[in-house]
Chains A and B, each alone.
Chain A
Amino acid sequence: DSGVTQTPKHLITATGQRVTLRCSPRSGDLSVYWYQQSLDQGLQFLIHYYNGEERAKGNILERFSAQQFPDLHSELNLSSLELGDSALYFCASQANYGYTFGSGTRLTVV
């Protein structure tokens, strides 16, 4: 157990739908990063939050959004889903020691 918790582990949904992925960082870590891992794009940085504020954006589509709540958990919202959004979505929390990844949410869009 890495200390970073992601739910759900698996998600199957239809095109056009909206889903929410959840991440709880390691206790005391203020930073949460979201990454997408797909077969064709590899691992790509989506977005970074630090203590509730957005700090950096990577290759995140406009259909995707995220937020970090006062208790530091984060949610990644994916809307108007397309087949190409099928991927493994990881979150990572970060402190001085480095980065710790959760086990990911596997999203399948059918």
Chain B
Amino acid sequence: AQSVTQLDSHVSVSEGTPVLLRCNYSSSYSPSLFWYVQHPNKGLQLLLKYTSAATLVKGINGFEAEFKKSETSFHLTKPSAHMSDAAEYFCVVSAGDTGRRALTFGSGTRLQVQP
């Protein structure tokens, strides 16, 4: 079984300040972990993914995430928020037997960026 917990449903930051979106996971298998972003009335866009290579993963638009197995965490960070970062962010885990790798989504964190 696998699950994802996004610790904050809403995060508000000022433009130019750091962003931290927190995610904890559980998985019976070695997980693949992802962060997706969804802008209003848009589809899901992949920000970054972890698949058992480097524990610090760099993604698009200046985002990065660090896989910490001891803490079962995969927090998303960005040094300086931009207004265009305002969106909903989903932490996602994929695990299981080959061919049955459905994604389990967290409940999402809505990021608000104040001018």
Residues of A within 8 A of B (CB): 2, 33, 35, 42-45, 48, 50, 55-56, 58, 90, 92, 94, 98-104
Contacts and interface: CB of A to CB of B under 8 A. Distances in A.
A103 B45 CA distance: 9
Contact residues on B (Cβ < 8 Å of other chain), bracket: 20 to 34
Question: Binding site of A, secondary structure by majority: helix, strand, loop or mixed?
Answer: strand
Interface of B: 32, 34, 36, 42-46, 49, 90, 94, 99-105, 107-108
A50 B102 CA distance: 12
Nearest to A50: B99
25 contacts: A33-B102, A33-B103, A35-B103, A42-B105, A42-B107, A42-B108, A43-B90, A45-B103, A45-B104, A48-B100, A50-B99, A56-B100, A56-B102, A90-B44, A92-B44, A92-B103, A98-B34, A98-B49, A99-B34, A99-B94, A101-B36, A101-B44, A101-B45, A102-B43, A103-B43
Contacts of B108: 42-43
A47 B21 CA distance: 29
